[in-house]
Amino acid sequence: MADTGARRRGDRAGYVDDVGSVDKGGPFAVEEEEESVEKIFAAQEVPSWKGQLTFRAFAVSLMLSIAFTFIVMKLNLTTGIIPSLNVAAGLLGFFLIKTWTAVFAKLGIFPFTRQENTVIQTCVVAASGIAFSGGFGSYLFGMSERVASQSNTSDAKDFKNPSLSWMIGFLFLVSFVGLLSVVPLRKIMIVDFKLTYPSGTATAYLINSFHTPQGAKLAKKQVRVLGKYFSFSFLWAFFKWFFAASDGCGFENFPSLGLQAFANRFYFDFSATYVGVGMICPYIINVSVLVGGILSWGVMWPLIGKKKGIWYPDGSDDMHRLQGYKVFISIAMILGDGLYNFIKVLSITILALYKQIRSKDNVLPVASDASPESAAQNFDDQRRTHVFLKDQIPTWFAISGYVAIAAVSTGTLPQIFPQLKWYYVLVVYVMAPPLAFCNAYGCGLTDWSLASTYGKLAIFIVGAWAGQGHGGVLAGLAACGVMMNIVSTASDLTQDFKTGYLTLASPRAMFVSQAIGTAMGCVISPCVFWVFYNAFDNLGSQDSEYPAPYAALYRSIARLGVEGFSSLPSHCLTLCYIFFAAAIVINGIRDLVGKKWARFIPIPMAMAIPFYIGSYFAIDMCVGSLILFVWTKTNKAKAEAFAPAVASGMICGEGIWSLPSSVLALAKISPPICMKFLSSAVNQKVDTFLAR
């Protein structure tokens, strides 16, 4: 879903690239059922696991996967903030299948069930999730020459440029093994431990509600609202395109807060996407990003800039100059926040697991507090458990599959990345299963996934092991990809099992749907990235439309693991220590004061996002927050029902525009107008020059 190192699992259907959950679940994110859901659906026959895997479900999933991959890729390559698209995926899947069944009703097509809806949701978010876990905005793009050349350091020649063949092959090798790592533990996680998995539960409530008469009526209204704002966002992006003939032109460079503020990256860039993101993200995320922008671009960088020639040499900006402060102080906050949350979630996991083992009734305290026993829930639990345990996935299949894929990967990955020796890969595959279990278990308790933290751990271990003279930067980034994909998909699948448990979808159907969605993503995501990579020559440049900030950050983390601190500018290490410690202290204070006061304390990881790329998107997000706040105050019921649909439409419309804009760029068709803003003094000079 910025890269906190611990991302909330709203993230799989939407990602805040590791900043915390933005999956508020809209009006469907309720804590407990007021009546027996399964009694409402008791008259409906549950299809067999094969009956849940329909051609129409995967046809719709493929269409939505392509659309959502473009959206996620655009967000990934702009700021790295990727909100939850659960509502959009659920609504559009429901709408398209309902349309399908209406068209073919006369042919006796079987009805659309909530199990089939769950299959679509699982497949779509698995496919579009590869755009995040595949590292196209982080570790994978960080390997490229475009990103390496920006650093002007000794590792600048240590790169591997993207190509479709090796990217697709790499993703197929590393994306499936995580699915197999937690399959043997699904009953323990879902039935015995009764882990909550808040995002998976919210998704299940969303799907269940669609298939009640009242929910279907609301869903149709939400689809209409989503479509209206999708059209507005798409047409607005199309209109803006005409005025952006080159870098620095167009509405994206409108100095709405003045030229001085614009020079320090403070301006409203008229992005419908990030206004929508702001409507979905919690208020504290948006405010934290704005506070981080004010602290960095408003205070720190101007002050450090005055030390040019004293702290760092004059010349073009690179990692040895001001850019080094921007990147490494941001990394320090990322690592501090990630370390704190890693220890926090791991401690909660170990403590809860210990209590579970010691408990005689096999119910976690957190589960029993949130799930009071009732006749309705007993009926639901019994029916759900019966269906969940009926279609088993053989343990021998999971274990042998993991070993086989690990063996193939150990032999094959060094052929793709010669710097990544076979024994590095083997160590990662040995370490991965217990880490995948910890991540899936902790995710069930807290809704946090630590996938990117484990990825950074692999960067440091393998990068330091390989060393600078043996391609340690590339080896570390590749190892990050292996670890991150295993750990991320493991928690994703367990979340899907929880969603399937609550909608009576078969675990086998969930596994197959996740696997098919992953296979789709392994092809779709590299192809979509390839379109962006070839369409925009300045992709990854800090001043471009697609700066891909986390590509540079991940590469810098790899450099740090290989080279140590010797390459940092003067006083940069001291500032890094201060901000690393500050991130830990602020997180600790947030936990100590409780939820009531924590909502007023900024989140360090969200603060770190604008340190590198500026605050322009924070202005957009705060505008989205303001719209939601006013709407909630004036009509809370409508805001809760339709705000997620409005936001999703705004995100999707401009996101889909990236497809035709990329095609136009590939065809060398440029916008006809450059709209630029100049100060009066510069304008006078231009007029004088033109008058000659």
Residues in Cβ contact with 110 at an 8 Å cutoff, skipping those fewer than 6 apart:
none
203's tokens:
């998704």
Collapse the DSSP code of 296 into the 3-class scheme (helix H, G, I; strand E, B; otherwise coil) and give the result.
helix
Comparing 6-10, 113-117, 243-247, 583-587, the range with the smallest average pLDDT is 6-10
- Name the most confidently modeled range: 261-275, 464-478, 629-643: 629-643
Confidence check: pLDDT of 136 > 90: yes
Query: b or e along 434-451 (b: 16 or more beta carbons within 10 Å of the residue's beta carbon)?
Result: ebbbbbbbbbbbbbbbbb
Task: Give the pLDDT band of residue 480 (cuts 50, 70, 90).
Answer: very high
Average pLDDT over residues 542-562: 84
pTM of the model: 0.78
pLDDT at 105: 54
* CB neighbours of residue 541 within 10 Å: 18
At position 252, the amino acid (one-letter code) is E
Which residue type is seen at 412? T
Q: Is the pLDDT at 519 greater than 90, yes or no?
A: yes
Give burial (CB, 10 Å; 0-12/13-18/19+) of 341: buried
Residue 376 pLDDT exceeds 60: no
Most confident segment among 103-107, 435-439, 669-673: 669-673
Provide mean pLDDT across the span 242-268: 85
- Identity of residue 472: G
Name the phi and psi angles at 476, rounded to 5. -65, -45
Q: Give the Cα-Cα-Cα angle 600, 328, 449 (nearest 5 degrees).
A: 55
Q: How confident is the model at residue 216 (pLDDT cuts 50, 70, 90)?
A: confident
CA–CA separation, 240 vs 661, rounded Å?
A: 11
Mean pLDDT of the chain: 82
What is 334-392 written as a DSSP string?
A: HHHHHHHHHHHHHHHHHHHHHHHHH-SS---HHHHHH----HHHHHHHHHHHHHHHHSP
Length of the chain: 692
pLDDT digits (tens, 9 = 90+) for 409-462: 999 999 999 999 999 999 999 988 888 887 888 777 766 677 887 888 888 889
Burial class (CB in 10 A: 0-12, 13-18, 19+), 386: exposed
Per the structure block, which two tokens stand in for 398? 């999971």
What pLDDT is recorded for position 309? Answer: 82
Q: Which two tokens stand for residue 677?
A: 């803003």
Using 50, 70 and 90 to split pLDDT, how confident is the model at 97? confident
Q: Which of 307-311, 400-404, 531-535 has the lowest mean pLDDT?
A: 307-311
Amino acid 25: pLDDT: 41
Please state the separation of Cα 440 from the chain's center in Å. 17
Give the model's pLDDT for residue 456. 84
Name the residue among 658, 654, 644, 646 with its Cα closest to residue 228. 646
Between 12 and 659, the more confident residue is: 659
**Concatenated DSSP letters for 396-422?**
HHHHHHHHHHHHHHHHHHHHH-TTS-H
Alpha-carbon span 275 to 603, nearest angstrom: 20
Stretch 269-283: mean pLDDT: 86
Highest mean pLDDT (candidates 5-9, 424-428, 618-622): 424-428
Q: Distance between CA 255 and CA 644 in Å, rounded?
A: 29
Contacts of 260 (CB under 8 A, 6+ apart): none
- Quick one: average pLDDT of 82-103? 70
- Among 4-13, 93-102, 435-444, which is the least confidently predicted range? 4-13
Distances (CA, A) of 138 to 415, 446, 619: 22, 25, 24
Structure tokens at 328: 């490494």
For residue 26, pLDDT beyond 80: no
Predicted local distance difference test score (pLDDT) of residue 314: 75
Here the tokens at position 393 are 């996935």
Query: Looking at residue 526, what is its pLDDT?
Result: 96
The pair of structure tokens assigned to 318 is 């690179």
Residue pair 141/548 in contact (Cβ under 8 Å)? The answer is yes
Contact present, 655 and 70 (Cβ < 8 Å):
yes
Q: For residue 203, is pLDDT > 70?
A: yes
Evaluate whether 131 touches 12 at the Cβ level (below 8 Å): no
CB-based contact 43:486 (threshold 8 Å) = no
Rounded Cα gap, residues 447 and 424, in angstroms? 30
Cβ contact 196:444 at 8 Å = yes
pLDDT at residue 214 in the model: 74
Taking each helix axis from N to C end, the angle separating 322-358 and 549-563, rounded to the nearest 10 degrees, works out to 80
- Of 111-125, 168-182, 558-572, least confident by mean pLDDT is 558-572
Q: How confident is the model at residue 32 (pLDDT cuts 50, 70, 90)?
A: very low
Q: How confident is the model at residue 581 (pLDDT cuts 50, 70, 90)?
A: very high
Residue 153 has pLDDT above 70, yes or no: no
Q: With beta carbons less than 8 A apart as the criterion, state whether 475 and 555 touch.
A: no
pLDDT in tens, 173-184: 999 998 888 888
- Per-residue pLDDT tens over the stretch 632-662: 999 999 998 888 888 888 888 888 888 888 8
Contacts of 54 (CB under 8 A, 6+ apart): 116, 119
What is the band of 106 on the pLDDT scale with cuts at 50, 70, 90? low
Supply the pLDDT for residue 316.
59
Separation of alpha carbons 238 and 232, rounded Å: 10
Measured CA to CA in angstroms, residue 268 lies from 231, 252, 253, 494 at distances of 21, 8, 8, 40
Residue range 501-505: mean pLDDT, rounded: 90
Specify the pLDDT at position 6. 44
Which of 40-44, 252-256, 420-424, 487-491 has the lowest average pLDDT?
40-44
∠ Cα 463 468 472 (to 5°): 30
Which regions of 393-533 does DSSP assign to beta strands (E)? 448-449
- Let me know the angle formed at the C-alpha of 402 by 59 and 144, rounded to the nearest 5 degrees: 70
Task: Quote the CA–CA distance of 73 and 337 in Å, as a whole number.
Answer: 25
Which of 7-11, 33-37, 295-299 is most confident?
A: 295-299
- Choice among 8-22, 456-470, 492-506 with the minimum mean pLDDT: 8-22
**Structural element, H or E, at residue 7:** strand 7-8
- Residue 401 has a pLDDT of 92
Burial (CB count <10 Å: 0-12, 13-18, 19+), residue 60 = buried
Averaging pLDDT over each range in 165-169, 325-329, 357-361, which range is the top one? 165-169
Q: What would the mean pLDDT of 347-360 be, rounded to a whole number?
A: 76
Predicted local confidence at residue 167, as pLDDT: 95
Q: Pick the residue with more confidence: 349 or 344?
A: 344
> What is the model's pLDDT at position 405?
93
